[in-house]
Amino acid sequence: ALDALLGHRVDAVVTRLPFPTDGLHVIILYDEPRVLAMSVDHRLAGREFVTLDDIADEPMPRVRDSDTLWSAFWRIDPRPDGRRAPDGPFIDALEDKFELIASGQAVAVVPDLRVNTLRPDIITVPLRGVEPCHVVLATRAGDRSRLVAAFRKLAEAHLTGSPF
C-alpha cells in the first residue's frame, strides 16, 4: 500500500505503524492494543491477560525477507530484557500464520480487532506491558491537493477506532 502511495497510484493510506515515513505526512488516528493469538487449547488460552514473561519461550512465526522494523515490532524482538523472540516456522501468507497458530505450533502478536476469535480454533488474549500499535493516515509529504487535505480532516474526525 505504501508503494502505491509513493508511486502516486493512491493519495492516502490508512495502515498501522511501524514503517519508514520518509517522504510521508503521517497522522496517528488512534491506537489499538496488541493481543496474543493462540490456539483455543493453548495453555494460556483461559487467561484474562498475558505478559511477555508468559510467552518468553513461545515460538513466533517469521516472514521471509520481511521488513525488519515491522517484524521486530510485531514479534517484540528484542524483548525489553534484551532476549530475542523465539523463532517459529517461516510463513509465506497470512493463512499460513493462522494455520500455525490454530495447530499450536506458534503464537502471534496481532492488533486487537475487537473480535475475540479470528477463527473458531483461534482465540486472542490481551497482551499487557507492551505499547499499542498506531493506526495512521499516510499521505505524501508536501501534497497540496484540496481533496487530500479534506480527507485528512475527515479521517481525523471520523476514523477514531470506535465502532460507533
pLDDT in tens, the chain (164 residues): 788 999 999 999 999 999 889 999 999 999 999 999 999 999 999 899 999 999 999 999 988 766 688 888 999 999 999 999 999 998 888 888 889 999 999 999 999 875 555 688 999 999 999 999 999 999 999 999 999 999 999 999 999 876 54
Contact indicator for 132, 34 with CB cutoff of 8 Å: yes
Residue 137 CB burial class (10 angstroms; 0-12, 13-18, ≥19): buried
* pLDDT for the residue numbered 164: 47
* Ramachandran quadrant class, 28 (left: phi over 0; alpha: psi -120 to 50; beta: rest): beta
Amino acid at 27: I
Contact indicator for 155, 14 with CB cutoff of 8 Å: yes
DSSP state of 131: P
Residue 66 CB burial class (10 angstroms; 0-12, 13-18, ≥19): middle
d(CA 90, CA 163): 34
In this structure, the number of other CB atoms found within 10 A of the CB of residue 141 comes to: 11
* pLDDT for the residue numbered 151: 95
Residue count (the chain): 164
Taking alpha carbons only, the member of 42, 44, 54, 35 closest to residue 110 is: 35
d(CA 105, CA 101): 6
Cell of 153: 480532516
Phi, psi of 155, deg, nearest 5? -60, -45
* pLDDT for the residue numbered 107: 96
